[in-house]
Amino acid sequence: MSKLIKSGEEARKALEVGVNTLADTVKVTLGPKGRNVVLDKKFGAPLITNDGVTIAKEIELPDPFENMGAQLVREVSTKTNDVAGDGTTTATLLAQAMIREGLKNLAAGANPIVMKKGMAKAVETAVEAIKANSQKVNGTDDIARVGTVSSGDEFIGKLIAEAMEKVSADGVITIEESKTAETYSEVVEGMMFDRGYITPYMVTDTEKMEAVVDDAYILITDKKISVISDILPILEQLVQSGKKLVIIAEDVEGEALSTLIVNRLRGTLNVVCVKAPGFGDRRKEMLQDIAILTGGQVISEELGYELKSATVDMLGRARQVKVTKENTTIVDGSGDKQAIKDRVSQIRAQIAVTTSDYDKEKLQERLAKLAGGVAVIKVGAATETEMKEKKLRIEDALNATRAAVEEGIVAGGGTAYVNAVPAVEKLIGKVEGDEKTGVKIIVNALQEPVRQIAKNAGVDGSVVLEKIKSSRKVGYGFDAYKEVYCDMIGAGIVDPAKVTRSALENAASVSSMVLTTEALVADKPEPPAPAAPAGMGGMDGMY
Protein backbone atom coordinates (compact mmCIF):
# COMPACT_ATOMS: atom_id res chain seq x y z
CA MET A 1 0.00 0.00 0.00
CA SER A 2 1.37 3.41 -0.93
CA LYS A 3 2.19 5.87 1.86
CA LEU A 4 1.91 9.59 2.48
CA ILE A 5 4.93 11.30 4.03
CA LYS A 6 5.32 14.70 5.67
CA SER A 7 8.50 16.01 7.26
CA GLY A 8 9.99 18.95 9.14
CA GLU A 9 7.88 21.95 10.05
CA GLU A 10 4.91 20.73 7.99
CA ALA A 11 4.81 17.43 9.94
CA ARG A 12 4.98 19.15 13.32
CA LYS A 13 2.24 21.62 12.33
CA ALA A 14 -0.08 18.71 11.42
CA LEU A 15 0.68 17.02 14.74
CA GLU A 16 -0.05 20.25 16.60
CA VAL A 17 -3.45 20.63 14.92
CA GLY A 18 -4.38 17.10 16.03
CA VAL A 19 -3.09 17.68 19.57
CA ASN A 20 -5.05 20.94 19.88
CA THR A 21 -8.26 19.49 18.44
CA LEU A 22 -8.34 16.73 21.05
CA ALA A 23 -7.02 18.80 23.97
CA ASP A 24 -9.43 21.69 23.33
CA THR A 25 -12.35 19.24 23.44
CA VAL A 26 -11.16 17.64 26.68
CA LYS A 27 -9.97 20.68 28.66
CA VAL A 28 -13.41 22.32 28.89
CA THR A 29 -14.25 19.62 31.49
CA LEU A 30 -11.50 20.64 33.96
CA GLY A 31 -12.32 21.97 37.42
CA PRO A 32 -15.49 22.30 39.51
CA LYS A 33 -17.12 24.49 36.87
CA GLY A 34 -15.97 22.42 33.90
CA ARG A 35 -18.59 21.53 31.31
CA ASN A 36 -19.70 18.17 29.95
CA VAL A 37 -19.07 16.71 26.50
CA VAL A 38 -21.74 14.68 24.66
CA LEU A 39 -20.46 11.60 22.82
CA ASP A 40 -22.60 10.11 20.06
CA LYS A 41 -23.05 6.34 20.23
CA LYS A 42 -24.02 4.16 17.27
CA PHE A 43 -26.51 2.36 19.50
CA GLY A 44 -28.59 3.80 22.31
CA ALA A 45 -28.59 7.25 23.85
CA PRO A 46 -25.54 9.58 23.61
CA LEU A 47 -23.10 9.47 26.55
CA ILE A 48 -22.72 12.68 28.56
CA THR A 49 -19.44 12.83 30.50
CA ASN A 50 -16.65 15.02 31.86
CA ASP A 51 -14.16 12.13 32.04
CA GLY A 52 -11.07 13.06 30.00
CA VAL A 53 -10.02 9.56 28.94
CA THR A 54 -13.55 8.55 27.88
CA ILE A 55 -13.75 11.62 25.61
CA ALA A 56 -10.22 11.14 24.24
CA LYS A 57 -10.93 7.50 23.30
CA GLU A 58 -13.85 8.60 21.09
CA ILE A 59 -11.91 11.10 18.97
CA GLU A 60 -10.71 10.08 15.49
CA LEU A 61 -9.78 12.81 12.99
CA PRO A 62 -10.25 12.48 9.20
CA ASP A 63 -6.75 13.75 8.31
CA PRO A 64 -4.26 10.88 8.99
CA PHE A 65 -1.42 13.22 10.08
CA GLU A 66 -3.58 15.29 12.40
CA ASN A 67 -5.06 12.06 13.75
CA MET A 68 -1.54 10.94 14.76
CA GLY A 69 -1.23 14.03 16.96
CA ALA A 70 -4.62 13.34 18.54
CA GLN A 71 -3.74 9.68 19.17
CA LEU A 72 -0.42 10.62 20.80
CA VAL A 73 -2.21 12.86 23.31
CA ARG A 74 -4.83 10.17 23.80
CA GLU A 75 -1.94 7.95 24.88
CA VAL A 76 -1.17 10.48 27.67
CA SER A 77 -4.66 10.24 29.12
CA THR A 78 -4.89 6.44 28.70
CA LYS A 79 -1.53 5.87 30.42
CA THR A 80 -2.44 8.23 33.28
CA ASN A 81 -5.76 6.43 33.67
CA ASP A 82 -3.99 3.04 33.80
CA VAL A 83 -1.48 4.19 36.42
CA ALA A 84 -3.54 6.50 38.63
CA GLY A 85 -7.15 6.08 37.46
CA ASP A 86 -7.81 9.84 37.37
CA GLY A 87 -6.16 13.11 36.26
CA THR A 88 -6.60 12.35 32.57
CA THR A 89 -7.83 15.85 31.64
CA THR A 90 -4.93 17.47 33.51
CA ALA A 91 -2.44 15.20 31.72
CA THR A 92 -3.92 16.14 28.32
CA LEU A 93 -3.77 19.86 29.16
CA LEU A 94 -0.13 19.64 30.34
CA ALA A 95 0.87 17.78 27.16
CA GLN A 96 -0.82 20.42 24.99
CA ALA A 97 1.00 23.24 26.82
CA MET A 98 4.39 21.50 26.53
CA ILE A 99 3.92 20.75 22.83
CA ARG A 100 2.73 24.30 22.06
CA GLU A 101 5.71 25.96 23.80
CA GLY A 102 8.15 23.39 22.45
CA LEU A 103 7.08 23.82 18.82
CA LYS A 104 7.46 27.61 19.11
CA ASN A 105 11.06 27.12 20.23
CA LEU A 106 11.77 24.55 17.51
CA ALA A 107 10.55 27.05 14.91
CA ALA A 108 13.02 29.56 16.40
CA GLY A 109 15.86 27.07 15.87
CA ALA A 110 16.16 25.18 19.19
CA ASN A 111 17.68 21.69 19.20
CA PRO A 112 14.92 19.20 20.15
CA ILE A 113 17.26 16.58 21.68
CA VAL A 114 18.95 19.07 24.02
CA MET A 115 15.59 20.64 24.83
CA LYS A 116 14.21 17.20 25.73
CA LYS A 117 17.08 16.76 28.21
CA GLY A 118 16.14 20.03 29.95
CA MET A 119 12.48 18.98 30.08
CA ALA A 120 13.39 15.66 31.71
CA LYS A 121 15.48 17.40 34.40
CA ALA A 122 12.68 19.89 35.09
CA VAL A 123 10.03 17.17 35.41
CA GLU A 124 12.23 15.21 37.82
CA THR A 125 12.64 18.33 39.99
CA ALA A 126 8.90 19.09 39.85
CA VAL A 127 8.01 15.51 40.88
CA GLU A 128 10.39 15.74 43.86
CA ALA A 129 8.74 19.03 44.88
CA ILE A 130 5.25 17.47 44.59
CA LYS A 131 6.35 14.54 46.78
CA ALA A 132 7.91 16.92 49.33
CA ASN A 133 4.66 18.93 49.56
CA SER A 134 2.43 15.85 49.90
CA GLN A 135 0.75 14.81 53.15
CA LYS A 136 -0.35 11.39 54.32
CA VAL A 137 -4.07 10.62 54.26
CA ASN A 138 -5.42 10.86 57.80
CA GLY A 139 -8.69 9.04 58.28
CA THR A 140 -12.05 9.04 56.60
CA ASP A 141 -12.34 12.83 56.26
CA ASP A 142 -9.33 13.09 53.93
CA ILE A 143 -10.60 10.20 51.80
CA ALA A 144 -14.02 11.86 51.56
CA ARG A 145 -12.36 15.13 50.44
CA VAL A 146 -10.42 13.41 47.65
CA GLY A 147 -13.58 11.63 46.46
CA THR A 148 -15.58 14.88 46.60
CA VAL A 149 -13.03 16.87 44.56
CA SER A 150 -12.63 14.12 41.96
CA SER A 151 -16.37 13.55 41.44
CA GLY A 152 -17.57 17.08 42.15
CA ASP A 153 -20.15 15.63 44.54
CA GLU A 154 -19.89 15.59 48.34
CA PHE A 155 -22.32 12.66 48.64
CA ILE A 156 -20.11 10.46 46.40
CA GLY A 157 -17.01 11.42 48.43
CA LYS A 158 -18.68 10.37 51.69
CA LEU A 159 -20.05 7.17 50.15
CA ILE A 160 -16.57 6.05 49.01
CA ALA A 161 -14.99 7.00 52.36
CA GLU A 162 -17.61 4.92 54.20
CA ALA A 163 -17.07 1.94 51.91
CA MET A 164 -13.26 2.13 52.28
CA GLU A 165 -13.55 2.35 56.06
CA LYS A 166 -15.77 -0.73 56.20
CA VAL A 167 -13.63 -3.01 54.06
CA SER A 168 -10.12 -1.92 55.20
CA ALA A 169 -7.02 -1.61 53.01
CA ASP A 170 -7.25 -5.14 51.58
CA GLY A 171 -10.96 -4.91 50.80
CA VAL A 172 -12.42 -4.72 47.34
CA ILE A 173 -14.92 -2.06 46.30
CA THR A 174 -16.97 -2.78 43.20
CA ILE A 175 -19.37 -0.48 41.35
CA GLU A 176 -22.64 -1.82 39.99
CA GLU A 177 -25.79 -0.36 38.49
CA SER A 178 -28.64 -0.04 40.97
CA LYS A 179 -32.13 -1.28 40.20
CA THR A 180 -33.57 1.84 41.87
CA ALA A 181 -32.92 5.58 41.49
CA GLU A 182 -30.96 5.58 44.78
CA THR A 183 -27.16 5.47 45.04
CA TYR A 184 -25.98 3.55 48.10
CA SER A 185 -23.31 1.13 49.34
CA GLU A 186 -23.63 -2.25 50.96
CA VAL A 187 -20.95 -4.39 52.56
CA VAL A 188 -20.81 -8.15 52.29
CA GLU A 189 -19.79 -9.52 55.66
CA GLY A 190 -17.60 -12.63 55.54
CA MET A 191 -16.67 -14.60 52.44
CA MET A 192 -19.13 -14.51 49.58
CA PHE A 193 -18.98 -16.46 46.32
CA ASP A 194 -21.32 -16.60 43.35
CA ARG A 195 -22.84 -20.06 43.74
CA GLY A 196 -26.27 -20.73 45.27
CA TYR A 197 -28.10 -23.82 46.52
CA ILE A 198 -28.33 -26.83 44.19
CA THR A 199 -32.03 -27.33 44.95
CA PRO A 200 -34.69 -25.00 46.42
CA TYR A 201 -35.95 -27.89 48.62
CA MET A 202 -33.17 -26.94 51.04
CA VAL A 203 -34.31 -23.38 51.86
CA THR A 204 -35.08 -22.53 55.49
CA ASP A 205 -37.00 -19.32 54.74
CA THR A 206 -39.57 -19.82 51.97
CA GLU A 207 -40.51 -16.11 51.87
CA LYS A 208 -36.98 -14.90 51.13
CA MET A 209 -36.08 -18.19 49.41
CA GLU A 210 -32.80 -18.51 51.29
CA ALA A 211 -31.19 -21.10 53.54
CA VAL A 212 -29.58 -19.82 56.75
CA VAL A 213 -27.54 -22.38 58.68
CA ASP A 214 -26.29 -21.24 62.11
CA ASP A 215 -23.28 -22.89 63.73
CA ALA A 216 -22.65 -24.86 60.55
CA TYR A 217 -20.26 -27.70 59.81
CA ILE A 218 -18.88 -27.42 56.27
CA LEU A 219 -17.84 -30.36 54.10
CA ILE A 220 -15.47 -29.10 51.37
CA THR A 221 -14.64 -31.37 48.43
CA ASP A 222 -13.70 -31.08 44.75
CA LYS A 223 -15.54 -34.33 43.95
CA LYS A 224 -18.97 -34.93 42.47
CA ILE A 225 -21.20 -36.68 45.02
CA SER A 226 -23.71 -39.00 43.35
CA VAL A 227 -23.81 -42.00 45.73
CA ILE A 228 -25.03 -41.51 49.31
CA SER A 229 -22.72 -44.25 50.62
CA ASP A 230 -19.76 -41.90 49.95
CA ILE A 231 -20.89 -39.47 52.66
CA LEU A 232 -22.92 -41.84 54.87
CA PRO A 233 -20.23 -42.24 57.60
CA ILE A 234 -19.94 -38.48 58.12
CA LEU A 235 -23.74 -37.98 57.98
CA GLU A 236 -24.28 -40.59 60.70
CA GLN A 237 -21.81 -38.84 63.00
CA LEU A 238 -23.58 -35.49 62.46
CA VAL A 239 -27.14 -36.86 62.85
CA GLN A 240 -26.28 -38.41 66.22
CA SER A 241 -25.05 -35.10 67.60
CA GLY A 242 -27.79 -33.00 65.87
CA LYS A 243 -25.30 -30.91 63.88
CA LYS A 244 -26.13 -28.87 60.75
CA LEU A 245 -24.19 -29.43 57.53
CA VAL A 246 -23.29 -27.40 54.45
CA ILE A 247 -21.80 -29.39 51.57
CA ILE A 248 -19.60 -27.50 49.08
CA ALA A 249 -18.83 -29.92 46.22
CA GLU A 250 -18.34 -29.95 42.44
CA ASP A 251 -21.93 -31.21 42.29
CA VAL A 252 -24.42 -33.28 44.28
CA GLU A 253 -26.74 -35.35 42.09
CA GLY A 254 -28.73 -38.54 41.63
CA GLU A 255 -29.33 -40.84 44.57
CA ALA A 256 -27.20 -38.76 46.94
CA LEU A 257 -29.23 -35.60 46.28
CA SER A 258 -32.65 -37.28 46.53
CA THR A 259 -31.68 -39.00 49.82
CA LEU A 260 -30.48 -35.70 51.30
CA ILE A 261 -33.70 -33.92 50.20
CA VAL A 262 -35.91 -36.62 51.76
CA ASN A 263 -33.99 -36.45 55.06
CA ARG A 264 -34.08 -32.65 54.96
CA LEU A 265 -37.87 -32.59 54.48
CA ARG A 266 -38.40 -35.18 57.25
CA GLY A 267 -36.31 -33.07 59.59
CA THR A 268 -33.80 -35.87 60.19
CA LEU A 269 -30.89 -33.80 58.93
CA ASN A 270 -30.40 -30.06 58.42
CA VAL A 271 -28.30 -29.92 55.22
CA VAL A 272 -27.68 -27.49 52.33
CA CYS A 273 -25.73 -28.37 49.16
CA VAL A 274 -23.78 -25.74 47.20
CA LYS A 275 -21.73 -26.05 44.01
CA ALA A 276 -18.03 -25.19 44.38
CA PRO A 277 -17.05 -21.72 43.04
CA GLY A 278 -14.72 -21.08 40.10
CA PHE A 279 -13.31 -23.48 37.52
CA GLY A 280 -10.17 -25.58 37.10
CA ASP A 281 -7.12 -24.53 39.12
CA ARG A 282 -8.91 -21.41 40.38
CA ARG A 283 -11.61 -23.66 41.92
CA LYS A 284 -8.96 -25.65 43.81
CA GLU A 285 -7.46 -22.44 45.18
CA MET A 286 -10.86 -21.05 46.22
CA LEU A 287 -11.81 -24.29 47.99
CA GLN A 288 -8.49 -24.10 49.83
CA ASP A 289 -9.32 -20.48 50.82
CA ILE A 290 -12.70 -21.63 52.22
CA ALA A 291 -10.98 -24.48 54.09
CA ILE A 292 -8.43 -22.12 55.69
CA LEU A 293 -11.13 -19.57 56.59
CA THR A 294 -13.31 -22.22 58.27
CA GLY A 295 -10.54 -24.35 59.76
CA GLY A 296 -11.45 -27.35 57.62
CA GLN A 297 -9.74 -29.57 55.09
CA VAL A 298 -10.39 -29.92 51.35
CA ILE A 299 -11.29 -33.59 50.85
CA SER A 300 -9.61 -34.34 47.56
CA GLU A 301 -8.01 -37.46 46.11
CA GLU A 302 -5.09 -35.27 45.01
CA LEU A 303 -4.37 -34.64 48.69
CA GLY A 304 -4.88 -38.32 49.56
CA TYR A 305 -8.29 -37.99 51.24
CA GLU A 306 -11.46 -39.93 50.40
CA LEU A 307 -15.03 -38.95 51.25
CA LYS A 308 -15.75 -42.35 52.84
CA SER A 309 -12.94 -41.91 55.35
CA ALA A 310 -13.73 -38.26 56.18
CA THR A 311 -14.21 -37.41 59.87
CA VAL A 312 -15.92 -34.53 61.69
CA ASP A 313 -12.45 -33.07 62.46
CA MET A 314 -11.93 -32.48 58.73
CA LEU A 315 -15.03 -30.30 58.43
CA GLY A 316 -14.87 -26.52 58.53
CA ARG A 317 -16.93 -24.49 61.02
CA ALA A 318 -18.69 -21.12 60.72
CA ARG A 319 -21.04 -19.09 62.91
CA GLN A 320 -23.43 -18.74 59.99
CA VAL A 321 -23.74 -19.77 56.35
CA LYS A 322 -26.33 -17.95 54.26
CA VAL A 323 -27.26 -19.44 50.87
CA THR A 324 -29.52 -17.77 48.28
CA LYS A 325 -30.36 -18.83 44.72
CA GLU A 326 -27.24 -17.05 43.39
CA ASN A 327 -24.79 -16.52 46.29
CA THR A 328 -23.32 -18.16 49.36
CA THR A 329 -21.92 -16.17 52.29
CA ILE A 330 -19.80 -17.70 55.05
CA VAL A 331 -19.79 -15.49 58.15
CA ASP A 332 -17.26 -15.76 60.96
CA GLY A 333 -15.29 -18.86 59.93
CA SER A 334 -13.43 -20.71 62.70
CA GLY A 335 -10.09 -20.84 60.86
CA ASP A 336 -6.75 -20.35 62.58
CA LYS A 337 -5.80 -16.64 62.49
CA GLN A 338 -2.16 -17.37 61.67
CA ALA A 339 -3.10 -19.74 58.83
CA ILE A 340 -5.36 -17.04 57.35
CA LYS A 341 -2.52 -14.48 57.65
CA ASP A 342 -0.11 -16.84 55.88
CA ARG A 343 -2.64 -17.43 53.10
CA VAL A 344 -3.13 -13.67 52.69
CA SER A 345 0.67 -13.18 52.40
CA GLN A 346 0.82 -15.95 49.80
CA ILE A 347 -1.92 -14.30 47.68
CA ARG A 348 -0.17 -10.92 48.01
CA ALA A 349 3.04 -12.46 46.70
CA GLN A 350 1.12 -13.90 43.71
CA ILE A 351 -0.40 -10.46 42.99
CA ALA A 352 3.09 -8.92 42.97
CA VAL A 353 4.43 -11.31 40.30
CA THR A 354 1.41 -11.81 38.02
CA THR A 355 1.40 -9.95 34.69
CA SER A 356 -2.21 -10.63 33.68
CA ASP A 357 -4.74 -7.94 34.67
CA TYR A 358 -7.49 -10.57 34.84
CA ASP A 359 -5.48 -12.82 37.18
CA LYS A 360 -4.57 -9.81 39.31
CA GLU A 361 -8.24 -8.85 39.64
CA LYS A 362 -9.26 -12.39 40.63
CA LEU A 363 -6.41 -12.64 43.17
CA GLN A 364 -7.42 -9.25 44.59
CA GLU A 365 -10.97 -10.55 45.03
CA ARG A 366 -9.72 -13.65 46.84
CA LEU A 367 -7.54 -11.49 49.08
CA ALA A 368 -10.50 -9.26 49.93
CA LYS A 369 -12.70 -12.23 50.79
CA LEU A 370 -10.07 -13.55 53.19
CA ALA A 371 -8.83 -10.30 54.70
CA GLY A 372 -11.02 -7.29 54.22
CA GLY A 373 -14.47 -7.94 52.85
CA VAL A 374 -16.26 -6.64 49.78
CA ALA A 375 -18.22 -3.40 49.46
CA VAL A 376 -20.56 -2.77 46.54
CA ILE A 377 -21.53 0.76 45.50
CA LYS A 378 -24.87 0.63 43.70
CA VAL A 379 -25.26 3.58 41.31
CA GLY A 380 -28.79 4.80 40.70
CA ALA A 381 -30.26 7.74 38.78
CA ALA A 382 -33.51 8.87 37.18
CA THR A 383 -32.35 8.04 33.63
CA GLU A 384 -29.84 5.62 32.13
CA THR A 385 -27.83 8.51 30.61
CA GLU A 386 -27.42 10.14 34.02
CA MET A 387 -26.56 6.81 35.64
CA LYS A 388 -23.73 6.13 33.15
CA GLU A 389 -22.31 9.62 33.71
CA LYS A 390 -22.52 9.16 37.49
CA LYS A 391 -20.90 5.72 37.30
CA LEU A 392 -17.90 7.17 35.42
CA ARG A 393 -17.52 9.90 38.07
CA ILE A 394 -17.69 7.35 40.90
CA GLU A 395 -15.07 5.16 39.17
CA ASP A 396 -12.72 8.16 38.87
CA ALA A 397 -13.33 9.17 42.48
CA LEU A 398 -12.69 5.62 43.71
CA ASN A 399 -9.41 5.45 41.76
CA ALA A 400 -8.41 8.87 43.11
CA THR A 401 -9.01 7.82 46.73
CA ARG A 402 -6.98 4.63 46.23
CA ALA A 403 -4.14 6.70 44.75
CA ALA A 404 -4.36 9.11 47.72
CA VAL A 405 -4.00 6.24 50.20
CA GLU A 406 -0.88 5.07 48.31
CA GLU A 407 1.12 8.30 47.97
CA GLY A 408 -0.72 10.94 50.01
CA ILE A 409 -2.46 14.17 49.01
CA VAL A 410 -1.39 17.60 47.75
CA ALA A 411 -3.21 20.93 47.35
CA GLY A 412 -5.84 20.68 44.61
CA GLY A 413 -7.00 23.04 41.87
CA GLY A 414 -3.63 22.97 40.06
CA THR A 415 -1.97 24.59 43.11
CA ALA A 416 0.47 21.70 43.61
CA TYR A 417 1.99 22.39 40.16
CA VAL A 418 2.36 26.13 40.88
CA ASN A 419 4.00 25.24 44.23
CA ALA A 420 6.57 23.18 42.30
CA VAL A 421 7.49 26.13 40.01
CA PRO A 422 10.10 27.80 42.37
CA ALA A 423 12.07 24.54 42.64
CA VAL A 424 12.09 24.14 38.84
CA GLU A 425 13.02 27.82 38.29
CA LYS A 426 16.18 27.27 40.36
CA LEU A 427 17.30 24.85 37.62
CA ILE A 428 17.29 27.63 35.00
CA GLY A 429 20.52 29.08 36.42
CA LYS A 430 22.18 25.64 36.50
CA VAL A 431 21.67 24.67 32.84
CA GLU A 432 22.57 26.36 29.56
CA GLY A 433 21.43 26.79 25.97
CA ASP A 434 18.48 24.74 24.80
CA GLU A 435 18.40 22.76 28.06
CA LYS A 436 17.37 26.04 29.69
CA THR A 437 14.63 26.33 27.04
CA GLY A 438 13.39 22.84 28.00
CA VAL A 439 13.20 23.83 31.68
CA LYS A 440 11.25 26.98 30.79
CA ILE A 441 8.74 24.91 28.78
CA ILE A 442 7.96 22.86 31.92
CA VAL A 443 7.73 26.03 34.08
CA ASN A 444 5.09 27.42 31.70
CA ALA A 445 3.22 24.11 31.47
CA LEU A 446 3.02 23.77 35.28
CA GLN A 447 0.99 26.99 35.41
CA GLU A 448 -1.52 25.88 32.77
CA PRO A 449 -3.96 23.84 34.96
CA VAL A 450 -4.64 26.82 37.28
CA ARG A 451 -5.23 29.05 34.22
CA GLN A 452 -7.66 26.58 32.66
CA ILE A 453 -9.61 25.90 35.88
CA ALA A 454 -10.03 29.67 36.35
CA LYS A 455 -11.01 30.12 32.69
CA ASN A 456 -13.66 27.38 32.95
CA ALA A 457 -15.04 29.22 35.99
CA GLY A 458 -15.28 32.45 33.96
CA VAL A 459 -12.34 34.18 35.70
CA ASP A 460 -9.12 35.59 34.18
CA GLY A 461 -6.51 32.83 34.56
CA SER A 462 -3.47 35.14 34.47
CA VAL A 463 -4.80 37.28 37.33
CA VAL A 464 -5.49 34.17 39.45
CA LEU A 465 -2.04 32.78 38.70
CA GLU A 466 -0.25 36.00 39.70
CA LYS A 467 -2.20 36.20 42.96
CA ILE A 468 -1.24 32.60 43.88
CA LYS A 469 2.43 33.08 42.94
CA SER A 470 2.76 36.41 44.77
CA SER A 471 1.45 34.86 48.03
CA ARG A 472 4.53 32.55 48.16
CA LYS A 473 2.58 30.21 50.46
CA VAL A 474 2.57 26.46 49.80
CA GLY A 475 -1.02 25.25 49.40
CA TYR A 476 -2.48 28.73 48.82
CA GLY A 477 -4.77 28.60 45.79
CA PHE A 478 -8.02 29.52 44.09
CA ASP A 479 -11.28 27.77 44.99
CA ALA A 480 -12.96 28.01 41.57
CA TYR A 481 -16.32 26.81 42.89
CA LYS A 482 -16.67 29.58 45.49
CA GLU A 483 -14.35 31.95 43.58
CA VAL A 484 -12.23 32.73 46.66
CA TYR A 485 -8.51 32.41 47.49
CA CYS A 486 -7.73 30.10 50.41
CA ASP A 487 -5.51 27.41 51.90
CA MET A 488 -6.56 24.55 49.62
CA ILE A 489 -5.84 21.63 51.98
CA GLY A 490 -7.57 23.44 54.85
CA ALA A 491 -10.61 24.00 52.60
CA GLY A 492 -10.67 20.30 51.69
CA ILE A 493 -9.63 20.85 48.05
CA VAL A 494 -7.05 18.12 47.58
CA ASP A 495 -5.68 15.91 44.81
CA PRO A 496 -3.83 12.59 45.17
CA ALA A 497 -0.05 13.10 44.81
CA LYS A 498 0.10 9.99 42.59
CA VAL A 499 -2.42 11.45 40.12
CA THR A 500 -0.63 14.83 40.05
CA ARG A 501 2.76 13.15 39.53
CA SER A 502 1.58 10.64 36.88
CA ALA A 503 -0.18 13.32 34.83
CA LEU A 504 3.02 15.38 34.66
CA GLU A 505 5.35 12.46 33.90
CA ASN A 506 3.14 11.02 31.15
CA ALA A 507 2.53 14.44 29.57
CA ALA A 508 6.29 15.14 29.45
CA SER A 509 7.03 11.67 28.05
CA VAL A 510 4.68 12.01 25.06
CA SER A 511 5.47 15.71 24.51
CA SER A 512 9.20 15.07 24.21
CA MET A 513 8.44 12.33 21.64
CA VAL A 514 6.32 14.77 19.59
CA LEU A 515 8.99 17.48 19.77
CA THR A 516 11.72 15.13 18.52
CA THR A 517 9.59 14.00 15.54
CA GLU A 518 10.96 14.95 12.12
CA ALA A 519 8.78 12.92 9.72
CA LEU A 520 5.31 11.33 9.61
CA VAL A 521 4.32 8.32 7.52
CA ALA A 522 0.65 7.43 7.01
CA ASP A 523 -1.35 5.12 4.75
CA LYS A 524 -2.70 6.77 1.63
CA PRO A 525 -6.51 6.77 1.85
CA GLU A 526 -8.10 4.48 -0.72
CA PRO A 527 -10.24 6.27 -3.33
CA PRO A 528 -13.96 5.70 -2.80
CA ALA A 529 -15.43 2.88 -4.90
CA PRO A 530 -17.28 4.13 -8.00
CA ALA A 531 -21.01 4.44 -7.43
CA ALA A 532 -23.24 1.92 -9.21
CA PRO A 533 -25.12 3.34 -12.21
CA ALA A 534 -28.53 4.75 -11.34
CA GLY A 535 -30.53 2.56 -13.71
CA MET A 536 -30.05 0.11 -16.56
CA GLY A 537 -31.41 1.04 -19.96
CA GLY A 538 -34.30 -0.97 -21.33
CA MET A 539 -35.08 -2.57 -17.98
CA ASP A 540 -37.24 0.12 -16.43
CA GLY A 541 -39.51 -1.03 -13.70
CA MET A 542 -37.86 -4.46 -13.33
CA TYR A 543 -36.43 -5.67 -9.99
| Residues 127 and 165 both lie in one domain | no
One-character DSSP codes across 235-303: HHHHHHHT-EEEEEESEE-HHHHHHHHHHHHHTS--EEEEEPPS-HHHHHHHHHHHHHHHT--EE-GGG
CA distance 192 to 200: 19
Asked if residue 476 belongs to a domain, the reply is: yes
| Residues 480 and 505 both lie in one domain | yes
Bigger pLDDT: 83 or 542?
A: 83
Kindly state the average pLDDT of the residues 245-253. 91
| Residues 383 and 427 both lie in one domain | no
State whether residue 540 is helix, strand or coil.
Answer: coil
Task: Give residue 124's identity as a one-letter amino acid code.
Answer: E
CA distance 385 to 217: 47
Q: Whats the size of the chain, residue-wise?
A: 543
| Residues 216 and 258 both lie in one domain | yes
CA atoms within 13 A on the CB side of 411: 27
pLDDT at 410 over 90: yes
Among the listed residues 292, 298, 366, the one whose alpha carbon sits nearest the alpha carbon of residue 335: 292
CB-CB contact of 41 with 33 (8 Å): no
Task: Tell me the Cα Rg of the chain.
Answer: 30
Report residue 533's pLDDT band, with 50, 70 and 90 as the boundaries: low
CA distance 216 to 190: 14
| Residues 114 and 158 both lie in one domain | no
Asked if residue 368 belongs to a domain, the reply is: no
CA distance 372 to 167: 5
Asked if residue 299 belongs to a domain, the reply is: yes
Task: Give the rounded percent of residues in the chain with a pLDDT score beyond 70.
Answer: 96
Cα-based angle 476, 481, 487 (whole degrees, multiple of 5): 15
CATH number at residue 436: 1.10.560.10
The domain of 206 spans 192-335
Q: Which of 387, 407, 427 is the last residue of a domain?
A: 407
Cα-based angle 395, 147, 481 (whole degrees, multiple of 5): 115
| Residues 204 and 317 both lie in one domain | yes
| Residues 103 and 205 both lie in one domain | no
Among the listed residues 241, 334, 305, 228, the one whose alpha carbon sits nearest the alpha carbon of residue 273: 228
| Backbone phi, psi, residue 214, to 5° | -85, 150
Kindly state the average pLDDT of the residues 516-541. 72
Report residue 194's pLDDT band, with 50, 70 and 90 as the boundaries: confident
Which run of H or of E encompasses 343?
A: helix 337-353
CA distance 406 to 497: 9
Report residue 354's pLDDT band, with 50, 70 and 90 as the boundaries: confident
CA distance 108 to 515: 13
Q: Alpha-carbon torsion 424, 430, 434, 437, what sign?
A: positive
One-character DSSP codes across 422-485: HHHHHHHTT--HHHHHHHHHHHHHHTHHHHHHHHHTTS-HHHHHHHHHHH--TTEEEETTTTEE
CA distance 180 to 178: 5
What was the pLDDT predicted at 543?
47
| Number of domains present in the structure of the chain | 3
What was the pLDDT predicted at 372?
65
